[in-house]
Amino acid sequence: MHLLEGEGVSRNFGGLAAVADVDFYVDEGEILGLIGPNGAGKTTLFNLISAALKPTRGTVTYEGKEITKLPPHKICRLGIARTFQTVKIFPHLPVVRNVMVGSLFGTGKHMSEAEASRKAEEALDFVSLTSLKNVPAGDLTLANQKRLEVARALATEPRLLMLDELMAGLTHTEIDEAMGDIAQIRSSGITVIMIEHVMHAIMNICDRIIVLDHGRKIADGTPAEIAVNQDVIECYLGQDADSDEDLDDDSDFGDEDHAES
């Protein structure tokens, strides 16, 4: 049994099929990469899994149970945590309180404030934010805000962690650190799905990659297979293959706007 499985997952925005008939799965312990050009439907797919959006068609199954109709907080409590493409922190709350929201409400078990606070500190320690724990979250740098989101997600004790462009906007050093963090998250037993445009990161740490284009799944395989897949190369590079800079463009057209609605 797969940890998470989607069958025929579709979502239309008016006449536009943002995600069309996508089948996918993640197995326990995997790091799954989700890539595709801007507007391919990656974030929409995350939103469908985490119930920020309801699918127009299709089902999502987690640990063998259908979760398609559950509200977001229940999905979180079941063990699916996520971060956001544009960081969504609680800017006026201290860093540690941000993370405590995750440990107090997101684990699905009742936790005393003291326990929740201890869990929050652990998560902060993991992302190396302990020294900033009393700072208002809005005062952090972008890289640290992204770390904070990861800490908040980890504090919910997930089995599956969905990272939406964790590395976008980070420096090379920060990207290397983030890659180390992801590897460590996996070795602590958490399955990871990550949307990413930073190709060397994706190719290095993912066990498997799914490629979306115009809402459809066009490829699914190991990094080595994806790298030589003709459809993928065409969708990224077009026929005349002169614009490979597109790969690093981090504004994912469309998805974010829909997520707000």
Contact footprint for another protein (CB under 8 A):
50, 52, 71-73, 76-77, 81-82, 84, 88-93, 97-98, 100-102, 104-108, 113, 152-153, 156, 259-260
CA nearest to 165, candidates 75, 38, 54, 50:
38
CA nearest to 84, candidates 191, 196, 165:
165
For another protein, the closer CB: 84 or 236 = 84
For another protein, the closer CB: 2 or 97 = 97
Query: Reduced to 3 states, what is the DSSP secondary structure of residue 58?
Result: strand
Q: Can you tell me the distance from the alpha carbon of 114 to that of 234, in angstroms, rounded to the nearest whole number?
A: 54
Residues whose CB is less than 8 angstroms from the CB of residue 66 and which lie 6 or more positions away in sequence, other chains included: 59, 60
For another protein, the closer CB: 19 or 148 = 148
Question: Cα-atom radius of gyration of the chain, to the nearest Å?
Answer: 18
The least distance separating another protein from the CB of residue 77, rounded to whole angstroms, comes to 5
CA distances from 18 to 135, 248, 255 (A): 38, 21, 8
CA distances from 215 to 196, 208, 229 (A): 16, 19, 18
Q: Can you tell me the distance from the alpha carbon of 38 to that of 46, in angstroms, rounded to the nearest whole number?
A: 14
The least distance separating another protein from the CB of residue 213, rounded to whole angstroms, comes to 26
For another protein, the closer CB: 112 or 173 = 112
The least distance separating another protein from the CB of residue 210, rounded to whole angstroms, comes to 22
The least distance separating another protein from the CB of residue 74, rounded to whole angstroms, comes to 8
The least distance separating another protein from the CB of residue 199, rounded to whole angstroms, comes to 27
The least distance separating another protein from the CB of residue 162, rounded to whole angstroms, comes to 10
Element (H, E) at 255: helix 255-260
For another protein, the closer CB: 75 or 211 = 75
For another protein, the closer CB: 160 or 198 = 160
